[in-house]
Amino acid sequence: MASCSRRIAHLGAVLAAIAAAALAGCTTPWSEVATAARTKLVGMPADDLLLCMGPPLAKTREGTTDFWIYKSSAEVNSSATSTAVSRTSTTGVTECTANVALRAGKVAGITYSGQVHDPTNRYGPCYEIVAACMGR
């Protein structure tokens, strides 16, 4: 009987690992758009970038490269539980900082950083920064 319990516990751990790996490979459409922007917007003139993304929050320069910094954030429910007696939820802030590198007046690259509470939506919070430029 104890051997059977160990096998069931092991099977549960294996299934949990498989489910976690499967979910890690999933992404949301918002994350996919933000990921695609990292290559699709390369070469876009700075004036066009300003038209679709608006003015950056900050600008810096290193050598011959300008960096325009954009940010977005949103509160999200990271988990929610409900019973007949009580209801609880956990709210966290999901944020993205997009660093746009410009050389010779054109986008040379985009990198993202920030805090994301949903691994299937890794770049999703960056979507609202780049979405208006992706239809061009």
**pLDDT tens-digit map of 1-37:** 555 555 444 434 433 333 333 344 455 788 899 999 9
> Domains of the chain: which residue ranges?
27-134
Check residue 76 and give its pLDDT. 53
pLDDT exceeds 80 at position 39: yes
pLDDT exceeds 70 at position 91: no
**Phi, psi for residue 114 in degrees, rounded to 5:** 150, -170
Distance CA(19)–CA(121), nearest Å, equals 16
Which DSSP string do the residues of 14-57 spell out, in sequence order?
HHHHHHHHHHHT---HHHHHHHHHHHHTTT-BHHHHHHHH-S-S
What value does the mean pLDDT take over residues 88-117? 82
Task: Give the CA dihedral 88, 80, 32, 49, nearest 10 degrees.
Answer: -20
Distance CA(136)–CA(76), nearest Å, equals 29
Distance CA(56)–CA(11), nearest Å, equals 51
